[in-house]
Amino acid sequence: MDQRTTIVEAEAEPGGVPQSLRELAGDWGADQEVFRHVHWGKAMMWIFLLSDTFIFSSFLVSYMTMRSSVTAPWPNTAEVFGLDVGGVSVPLLLIAIMTFVLISSSGTMAMAVNFGYRRNRKATAALMVATALLGATFVSMQAFEWTKLIFTEGVRPWYNPMGAAQFGASFFMITGFHGLHVSIGVIMLLIVASKVLRGHYDRRGDYSAVEIAGLYWHFVDLVWVFIFAFFYLW
């Protein structure tokens, strides 16, 4: 008993806290050292994107599982999402244009980040606005796609006249959730672009907000590639 008391007293600091507890607290607080040289905004954005990856992955895995298990015929997406051009139905024409627009916006966003770190305010703001306009164009085409599917084809989340009823539910859930992300991204890009143009980040000497917005936008583009491949091409 005396030996045990002696060990605890030997470990204790003058404040009465045992050395073992101090080491444990240091281990728990080690993240401060790990992230000391990482911008907090970038770290938080990466954490958010990681959580969003799990959500979109769950949606797509659930869709593939449901698609593989339904017994009712699944609509031919090439025909459903085709467009009439001169009396000829072109399969997936609108979706191909939407994909081109969104991928192009990744290029303008990458250039905006590049000019941001060069402290070129006008070029950065212009490219971010161009990216936002491309994103708004994508959302507008998606709204047209929804309108055509609802009012022309008669598809509902709970009903589908072309086959499996789950088609409407999975389509509106997956594309709607992605469209929401694009809409939020457009608003964020315009806000950051306005701050860039006013010289807000020059006064702070930090253009990390442009790169953080770029991380979000590239993620949205990447998710669309998977949606395009698994939902429209499969």
Residues 214 and 109: their CA atoms lie apart, in Å, by: 6
Ordered per-residue pLDDT tens for the chain, 234 residues: 444 444 444 444 455 667 777 666 665 555 544 455 667 889 899 999 999 999 999 999 999 999 999 999 999 998 899 888 888 889 999 999 999 999 999 999 999 999 998 999 999 999 999 999 999 999 999 999 999 999 999 999 999 999 999 999 999 999 999 999 999 999 999 999 999 999 998 887 788 999 999 999 999 999 999 999 999 998
Residues 90 and 78: their CA atoms lie apart, in Å, by: 8
Specify the fold of 39-232: Four Helix Bundle (Hemerythrin (Met), subunit A) (1.20.120)
The pTM assigned to this predicted structure is 0.83
Q: Where in the chain is the domain with CATH 1.20.120.80?
A: 39-232
Structure tokens at 139: 């959302």
